[in-house]
Amino acid sequence: MNPLYAPLFEPLALRSGITLDNRIVVAPMTHYSSRPDGTLTDEELHFIARRSRGAGMVITACAYIAPGGQDAAGEPAADRDETIPELTRWARVIQAQGTLAVLQLHHGGRNADPGLAPNGDVVGPSAIKDEAGGFVLPRELAPHEIEELIRQFGEAARRAIIAGFDGVEIHGAFALLLQQFYSPHANRRRDRWGGSVERRLAFPLAVIDEVKNAVAGHADRPFIVGYRFTPEEATTPGLTMADALHLADVLAKQELDYIHVLTNDYRSRPRREADATRTRLELIKEAVGSRTPVIGGGSIYTADQALEAYDTGIDLISLARGLVIDPDWIEKVKQGREADIETILRADAQQRLAIPDPLWRMIWGDPGWFPGTS
């Protein structure tokens, strides 16, 4: 290995007692390839296995925790005990590559697909449609339904424990349900679940507590609990960078194993209400300090970019599109072959890269999403 990249391969001990072998995390990558009942196909298992070797930790594609929680077709399920054998298979495929397996848990909320929801019933914190492309006007959740969703997050965590996963990540990003409760655009409630910043945080914090209670009640081994969030929203009203820094500070007090920041580019800077001369990752890491490890990434394709992101002060580097393009990215850096990393997606590479058909179609249907597709 080139000594320049040695910092990326130092171990990191987490609060749970689990130690990661290195600082490279395979970020959640939705495959769009599960069957209609949420069971996993061999194609998506092969896809993730190809990209797991050498990583410190692998976070799976999001698994929905309740019927009606899917925001896209082809997502895997964690909403009932019948999914445990499938989840077990998923965990074992990842762990067979010598790394840790973390199951990401989510609910689409107002951005769930009505065609996949029972009776087309799409719900959210308030009856406010997402201006950025929500499917329909959601129905406002009743208080007892909110309590039930909290319970279902805990139940999904229990299933992950039984299935043999090493941890779970609570998905509070991508304008999905947990982000919606924090967002002043999506959440216009005036009860205990909305209004002030503190009340808008009540649902995410309740989910964290429920998941941690599930771990305390069911795990007979150290078990990771992380949380992922998106820093800002483009809408007005909407989440600002100041809101993101407040959330980061609150999350750092929750005794999580890590905080995972979702940015499209590790170099991205705040839109508003923060120092725009610094990156979002720098600001968030400063707010968190040494209390909790921070994962960050976005648009990392080369080893030098990974090192540049790491030098912002964050603790762990997440890779997604870079690993889709080159599944051997991590191994190449370990072997001193960083110059051989592929950074452009070739139109004839699907079979060689083991990319499932639905994901392949999504990639090429969105020109510019990946380098080489515009």
Give residue 336's pLDDT: 97
Compute the C-alpha angle 59/61/65, nearest 5°: 105
Per-residue pLDDT at 66: 98
pLDDT digits (tens, 9 = 90+) for 4-49: 999 999 999 999 999 999 999 999 999 999 999 999 999 999 999 9
Q: Mean pLDDT throughout 72-83?
A: 97
Domain boundaries, the chain: 3-343
Asked whether the CA dihedral 317, 321, 322, 328 is positive or negative, the reply is: positive
Average pLDDT over residues 225-240: 96
Give yes or no for a contact between 130 and 183, defined as CB atoms under 8 angstroms apart. Answer: no
329 falls in which pLDDT band (50, 70, 90)?
A: very high
pLDDT at residue 131 in the model: 85
Q: Is the pLDDT of residue 134 over 90?
A: no
The pLDDT score that the predictor gives to residue 135 is: 87
The span from the CA of 249 to the CA of 289, in Å, is 9
Mean pLDDT of 149-161: 98
The pLDDT of residue 80: 98
Q: Does the pLDDT value for residue 132 go beyond 90?
A: no
Q: Please compute the mean of the pLDDT values over residues 328-352 and round it to a whole number.
A: 98
pLDDT single digits (tens) 201-224: 999 999 999 999 999 999 999 999
Q: How much is the mean pLDDT over the chain?
A: 97
% of the chain residues with pLDDT over 90: 98
Name the residue among 3, 68, 57, 89 with its Cα closest to residue 297: 57
In CATH terms, is domain 3-343 a member of 3.30.110.60? no
Is pLDDT at 188 greater than 90 in this prediction?
yes
Q: Model pTM?
A: 0.97
